[in-house]
A and B are shown apart, each in its own frame.
Chain A
């Protein structure tokens, strides 16, 4: 990134954020609904970014965690009438626990094998939902009549008043960006990026790679579960259709095309992949074809995505007693993954 580009970055972000916040004053309900969808996919992309972007694990089954969160909300809300916003953390916890259980045995698989297994996982989840597992998911019909969220006595319907819902989801998006920005720059975030770059060296520097990978899955799934809650209460009706394999591919593409490991990149990716097709309604049937071509072309000409993370620079390290020079790099015997 050039110096000039770095200089205009902050004002540019401020302008974009201002435009986003002002959108309900200019746009109609349909356009606002599109923006809401962009925000939901941006949230999903950001949560996947923890796993795929920072930790570099090829995870193409994120829709499974999204589904667990959405169904948790739907089942509890329609059965016991618990307000949906109260279920936000619970949906996250359910998805996070589910992720910890399913990811534990597969975490050590090498890149493309993990990809295939996560595809298998999301398909199993979808088939389980269709088969009405535990008798609570409503089979292929799904679950109707989920309440809209309500805040301070005001019902925020994503269908009737997308403008209200817009601010709810925007608030959650802002919260998410803040948390994930802090995470990216935390010790934990650095460790994930290190083990992505060089798992052997990371293991040698005392990073428990298996545990960090699992934690990345847990956090990503926790967040996807919360987004599932927002999604279920937005459209008030969910069915296995909403969580097909294709949804997971879309999330994957948002992260890869936008720029894996980069928050602005993922936001841009969500805007391009969810928002752009709306501008070209006439080309509806060629949309996926173009997607595929763009995907291939991007990998050939710009594999790092449109807005890849800026190279990090760190100040001269002061020895804080923890990361001192006593850890020398270990060889492959540390059990880290060895790339051919």
Chain B
């Protein structure tokens, strides 16, 4: 029972990270029907930018740990968001009317460019985040131990997700995003600037991915330039699991995949941990290609 609970909280923390990355996939897919292969690398860029800013600005020393990390998160999200917009401009915008394969291959090329740029800038060996910035103590709840860090990660990702959900559902801009996802041409006729919507999506998605990268760096302490591809693939699996193009779906899918993975690692086999996500992916595409909450895009699959 104790192991179960440990794995559950661990899975939820990792799942929150998957969900944040999955949101970027699902939003871009919802609008452009494009799998943004480079999204996982934007996540990595977030982790590395966080490290650089943390080391060079010494924010946590000047304004205190909590405020410093918040400022850091905002900066990382902003920067990665801008990189996302640039990515779209350079690699995807010229291909809006091309066949899908061209855009997918271009995305793959962009992913290779990003991961190798990171490698050339930061070197091929893993980098270590400074320790001691975050609480390391363990809460004791009814005899079960929960590291505070897991709660922080889960809470942060939930706050970001809920914020995004409210933004998409309640604001005018959010409505424009939803409209463009359903029918770009009709949205254009209704006076929505679809190009601006796409730009916005390419800002928000990577910004959330960058935040996830920062959290991974802070939590696990170690980052490397290839980590984006595995996190990216798993987050994509999460997006499919929840129903791609569906924003609540990505959140549910991410959390669920995190839990499935950590349970599988604990109770089935740790050596097969990374394969579990792929089995889930294949299974879900065969059995229920629309995902759990994917009714809205059923006809598109």
Candidates B106, B111, B117, B301; contact of A113 at CB < 8 Å: B301
In angstroms, Cα B98 to Cα A110, docked, is 17
A-B pairs under 8 A by CB, number: 114
**Cα–Cα, bound, A113→B120 (Å):** 32
Give the shortest distance, in Å, between A57 (CB) and chain B (any CB): 10
Residue in contact with A128 in the complex, picked from B94, B108, B275, CB distance below 8 Å = B275
Residue in A56, A256, A286, A299 whose beta carbon sits within 8 Å of that of B95 in the complex? A299
Interface flag for A300 (CB, 8 Å): yes
User: Digit string of B197-239 for contact with A (CB within 8 Å is 1, else 0)?
Assistant: 0000000000000000000000000000000010001001100
Q: Residue B35 at the A interface, CB < 8 A?
A: yes
Contacts A106-B282, A124-B278 given; does A295 touch B101 at CB 8 Å? no
The distance from the CB of A114 to the nearest CB of chain B, in whole angstroms, is: 9
Q: Is B182 an interface residue (CB 8 A)?
A: no
Question: Is B188 at the interface (CB under 8 A from chain A)?
Answer: no
Give chain A interface residues in 297-340, CB to chain B under 8 Å: 298-300, 303, 340
| Interface window among A15-23, A115-123, A212-220, A268-276 | A115-123
8 Å CB contact of B109 from A112, A293, A340: A293
For the complex, what is the distance from the CA of A128 to the CA of B94, rounded to whole Å?
Answer: 40
Shortest C-beta distance, A247 to chain B (Å), equals: 14
Q: Would you call B301 and A123 a contact (CB within 8 A)?
A: no
Given A288-B112, A289-B116: A109 in contact with B102 (beta carbons within 8 A): no
0 or 1 for each of B16-44: is its CB under 8 Å from A? (1 = yes): 00000000000000000111000000000
Q: B33 touches which one: A285, A293, A294, A340 (CB < 8 A)?
A: A340
> Given A111-B100, A299-B103, are A119 and B233 also a contact pair (CB < 8 Å)?
yes
Q: Contact: B272 with A127, CB < 8 Å?
A: yes
Distance of A127 Cα from B106 Cα, bound (Å): 27
Q: State A124–B300 Cα separation when bound (angstroms).
A: 27
Report how many residues on chain B are interfacial, defined by Cβ distance under 8 Å: 45
Decide: B110 and A120 in contact? CB cutoff 8 A: no
**Binary contact readout B260-299 vs A (1 if CB under 8 angstroms, 0 otherwise):** 0000000001011011001101100110010000000000
In the bound complex, how far is the Cα of B90 from the Cα of A292, in angstroms? 12
Q: Within the complex, what minimum Cβ distance (angstroms) separates B41 from chain A?
A: 10
Hey, which chain A residues are within 8 Å of B282, CB to CB?
Answer: 105-106, 117, 120-121
CA distance A2 to B176 in the complex (A): 49
Asked if B106 and A123 make an inter-chain contact with CB atoms under 8 angstroms apart, the answer reads no
Does A131 interact with chain B (Cβ within 8 Å)?
yes
Chain A residues near B90 (CB, 8 Å)?
A: 296
**Contacting pair A299 B106 (CB below 8 A):** yes
**Nearest chain A residue, comparing its CB with the CB of B269:** A131
Decide yes or no whether B191 CB sits under 8 A from chain A: no
At the interface, is chain A mostly helix, strand, loop or mixed?
A: helix
Pick the most buried of B35, B269, B278: most chain A CB atoms within 10 A of its CB: B278
CB nearest to B100 among chain A residues: A111
**B55 interface hit (Cβ, 8 Å):** no
Residues of B75-104 whose CB lies within 8 A of A: 90-91, 94-95, 98-104
Rounded to whole Å, the gap between the CB of B214 and the closest CB of chain A is 24
Interface residue tally for chain A (C-beta within 8 Å): 40
Cβ A116 vs Cβ B236 within 8 A: yes
With beta carbons under 8 angstroms apart, the residue of A131, A291, A292, A303 that contacts B99 is A303
Instruction: Contacts A123-B274, A288-B116 given; indicate if A112 touches B285 (C-beta within 8 A).
Output: no
Q: Quote the shortest CB–CB distance from B36 to chain A (angstroms).
A: 11
A115 interface neighbour in B35, B114, B274, B275, Cβ under 8 Å: B35
Residues of B within 8 A of A293 (CB): 109, 113
Residue of B nearest to A139 (CB): B271
- Return chain A residues, CB-CB under 8 Å to B240: 113, 116
* Closest chain A CB from B290 CB (angstroms): 11
- With contacts A109-B285, A292-B113 taken as known, whether A340 is within 8 angstroms of B105 at the C-beta atoms is no
A177 in contact (CB, < 8 A): no
A249 within 8 A of B: yes
Our pick among B34, B116, B278, B289 for the contact of A123 (Cβ within 8 Å) is B278
Checking A56, A123, A296, A298 against B110 with a beta-carbon cut-off of 8 angstroms, the contacting residue is A296
Q: Which residues of A contact B229 (CB under 8 A)?
A: 245
Q: How far is the CB of A193 from chain B (nearest CB, A)?
A: 15
Can you list 8 residue pairs at the A/B interface with Cβ under 8 Å? Answer: A106-B282, A117-B281, A121-B278, A131-B271, A289-B120, A292-B110, A299-B102, A340-B300
- Add 12 more A-B contacts to A117-B282, A128-B275 (CB < 8 A): A56-B101, A109-B285, A111-B101, A113-B301, A120-B233, A124-B278, A131-B272, A295-B105, A295-B108, A298-B109, A299-B102, A303-B101
| B-binding residues in A (CB < 8 A) | 56, 58, 105-106, 109-113, 115-117, 119-121, 123-124, 127-128, 130-131, 245, 249, 252, 256, 285-286, 288-289, 291-296, 298-300, 303, 340
Task: Please give me the 9 A-B residue pairs with the lowest Cβ-Cβ distance, nearest first.
Answer: A295-B109, A292-B112, A292-B113, A120-B278, A296-B109, A299-B106, A289-B116, A303-B102, A127-B275
